[in-house]
Structure 1
Amino acid sequence: MTRVNVMQPWLGEEEAAALADVIASGWVAQGPRVAAFEQAFAESQQASYAVATSNCTTALHLALVVAGIGPGDDVVVPSFSFIATANAPTYVGARPVFADVDGTTGNLTAGTVEQALTSRTRAVIAVDQGGVPVDIGALRALCDPRGIVVVEDAACAAGSTYRGRPVGVEAEIAAWSFHPRKILTTGEGGMLTTSRADWADRARKLREHAMSASAAARHQSVLAPPEQYDEIGFNYRMTDLQAAVGLVQLARLPEAVARRRELAAAYAKEIGEIYGLRAVADPSWGTSNFQSFWVEVGHGYPVDREGLMAALAAAEISARRGIMAAHRQPAYADRDTGGVALHVTEWLTDATLILPLFHQMSESEQARVIDVLRDPRSVL
């Protein structure tokens, strides 16, 4: 029986041709295609400025640096997220303070964030978990009057919407991922978008060791100008090879999201008829790209989450456990992270799993998954 993967990148001949063009040009490092990708991504997301980076984690790091977050500051983050969300504040010497999430969306809310605020809170990192848009307007209504910066971790959310517009628009600064698990992939890679020109300019310098003259500008000059380093920077650059793939992927994004929403609707219809299972869904304020389609295994279902994963594996179907709880990881278990109760986070981490969903998924492959969901004991 052919294995059904949890995710497959949608890549083809157009990406291969774009890579060949870059190689033939002789310019493969950060250069003209990175600039073109930044402009195209900013336009597609209705962002004022976009700065390409090596990955989303480095984009989050830069976002906190340009926002002035540092030692002695607290940053509220969800524990219910990939660990990079908590790591970014740690990189700048701040303390990540874990807040709980909403049980339906898996996202921070104004209420859960307010419970985690301290006198030292300077920023909040709000995640669009699995592509489900966070209610960024409610968070900013809470944080803006307090002088707290809201950073949107839109790693999973390219193609999702918030109140009819692309996610990220309502945040002063946002970070994006182009990892192979994401709908828009460049292999590795990330992006920082912001409404502030000063933050964008500083992020561009910091990603290149804080050089006064960019590498592209120096290489385009016959007599390169001398460079100067005014502060400690980083090597967080994207390559033109990655950007060339990103430009192709960006053009396909609407089609990719439409296909994923079609598959998600088919899952939701069937799961809605299975007692004990609940599928992730659009919130009232936006639409998800369904980067991850997760299901909550509740009381009354014939098996628990681990049992359902075993049943899917027995049918050669790859699933993944739900989003991790960062506060349980050894890296943070012994740290002071605020001490807020995280009951919803722990329940969702223990009771959810991510089902296969990818652009090329066939009706028969999805039917195999649904058959196991209906009767997991039949394959155990």
Structure 2
Amino acid sequence: MIPITRPWLGAEEAAAVNEVLASGWVAQGPKVAAFEASVAAALGAGEGVATTSCTTALHLALHALGVGPGDEVVVPSLSFIATTNAPRYAGARPVFADVDLETQNITAETLERALSPATRAVIVVHQAGMPADLDAIEALCKPRGVTVVEDAACAIGSTYRGLPVGARNLVALSFHPRKLITTGEGGMLLTGDGRLARRLRRLREHGMAVSAHERHASRTVVVEAYEELGFNYRMTDLQAAIGLVQLGKLDAIVARRRALAARYSELLGDVPGLSLPADPPYGTTNYQSYVVQLDDDLPLQRDVVMQELLDRGIATRRGIMAAHLEPSCAALPAPALPVTERLTRRSLILPLFHGMDTKDVERVAEALATAVAHCAVEGPPWR
């Protein structure tokens, strides 16, 4: 079976965890601080603030920005549902914007149609690791006083105009096992604002003025104060120890994924009816996912293709979900989102991970090409 992904974990991560266990301090502490500093340095950001997930990072960001009831936050519907949920956690209303067909990201053009006087922020998702065009979006938002928050859950290792994604704005990362590097679960906020970073660290630890680790390490009695309503969004040192090892592998992971993706594109480039991902002119993708679109004139259902590949021992996933079509979002108003609905209906994600070899890629590509060829000869439905 070829899985959709498999984290690159081994003896180094196990040794790092054992070191933390032997230290006696397993909660948020020195390893988390080291991981925050290392990620920030690697991505060209000023500060890193580790959290339990990218979801809680997004919520924390909006809360710290003062987003709340009566405010609107523009989001792409074409994203994991956490992007839509974060404004709702803050009491704000998510407003859906459509996306670009090629990059699957919101653009200045699709965003402008969703802005209103009530818009406080926009969450820009770098979908599947594909960088969004930030310059155009910022040029639209900043004169209007709209804050840009980047959902870079999938984009660690991607670049925008020669810099790592994460080097600007307030940026949320994910370390879920589906991402390039993992801590099991976990996330992080990146910011160049030191004052904001200090507040975010306080907020993620119940609003406590001094961290638990600092309090326990002190040689004098420290009685902590809780200066504002906060949350329990702390990462553990166990997770951070894994993350530090994983971060050291990032460059190798990106290089391998890009090489495997290039092989997919070489093998599938001449298959009629398929549209394949590629770097945009302003940046590079880490290929967190290799997303294939089935052209509308290809009379083949996406789920039929997925089942055919599964029958051949190849796991796939549907393309990116459309939040506005989910039952939990039924009460939210949604404009016409034709590109979003096409992409969520007509795309699928192929296996791609560091441990794959070229023979695996060739097997997947051959199975997909065969499915498309059968459809062209026999017409729908085929099995």
Mapped contact 1:9–1:185 kept (Cα < 8 A):
yes
CA contact (8 A) 1:318 1:356 kept: yes
Aligned residue among 188, 192, 196 for 2:193 = 196
1:154 is aligned to 2:152: yes
The alignment partner of 2:20 has SS state of helix
1:15 to 13, 16, 27: 13
Q: C-alpha distance in 2, partners of 1:93/1:306?
A: 36
Separation in structure 2 between the aligned mates of residue 170 and residue 136 of structure 1, nearest angstrom: 9
1:166 aligns with 2:164: yes
TM-score (norm 1): 0.97
- Separation in 2, partners of 1:136, 1:30: 33
Structure 1 match to 2:378: none
In structure 2, the partner of 1:269 is 266
Decide whether the 8 Å contact of 2:168 with 2:192 is kept in 1.
no
Quote the Cα distance in structure 2 between the aligned partners of 1:15 and 1:316.
29
Equivalent in the alignment of 2:379: none
Structure 2 matches for 1:1-380, cutoff 5 A? 3-171=1-169, 173-301=170-298, 303-335=300-332, 337=333, 339-376=334-371, 377=374, 380=383
Helix, strand or coil at the partner of 1:230: coil
8 Å contact 1:136–1:170 — kept in the other structure? no
Q: Which amino acid aligns with 1:341?
A: A
Q: Contact (CA 8 Å) 1:140, 1:150: kept in 2 or not?
A: yes
**Partner-residue secondary structure (3-state), 2:39:** helix
CA contact 1:110–1:139 (8 Å) conserved in 2? yes
Q: Which runs of 4+ in 1 moved over 6 A?
A: none
Q: How many residues align?
A: 375
Q: 1:218 is matched by which residue type in structure 2?
A: R
Amino acid at match of 2:365: I
Letter in 2 for 1:241: L
Q: CA RMSD in A?
A: 1.2
Give how far 1:302 is off. 6.0
Q: Is the 8 A contact 2:20 2:26 kept in 1?
A: yes
- Could you tell me how far apart the structure 1 residues matched to 2:369 and 2:92 are? 46
Q: Percent identity?
A: 57
The one-letter amino acid paired with 1:192 is: L
Letter paired with 1:243: A
The one-letter code of the counterpart of 2:259 is: E
Decide which moves more: 52-61 or 366-375.
366-375
Give the Cα separation in 2 of the matches to 1:200 and 1:35.
Answer: 12
**C-alpha distance in 1 between matches for 2:97 and 2:296:** 25
- Provide the rounded CA distance (Å) in 1 between the counterparts of 2:64 and 2:196: 6
For residues 299 and 205 of structure 1, the distance between their equivalents in structure 2, rounded to whole angstroms, comes to: 50
Question: Any conservation in 2 of the 1:105–1:283 contact (CA below 8 Å)?
Answer: yes
Rounded Cα–Cα distance in structure 2 between residues aligned with 1:299 and 1:179: 33
Letter in 1 for 2:210: A
Q: TM-score scaled to structure 2, two decimals?
A: 0.96
> Structure 2: which 5+ residue stretches go unaligned?
376-381
**Alpha carbons of structure 1 residues 292 and 224: separation in structure 2 relative to 1, 3 Å:** farther
Q: 1:222 Cα deviation (Å)?
A: 3.9
The structural deviation recorded for 1:151 is 0.1
Q: For 1:301 and 1:364, locate their aligned partners in 2 and report how far apart those are by CA, in whole Å.
A: 27
Give 1:270's aligned amino acid: L
Distance in 2 (CA, whole Å) between partners of 1:366 and 1:208 is 44
Structure 2 SS opposite 1:116: coil
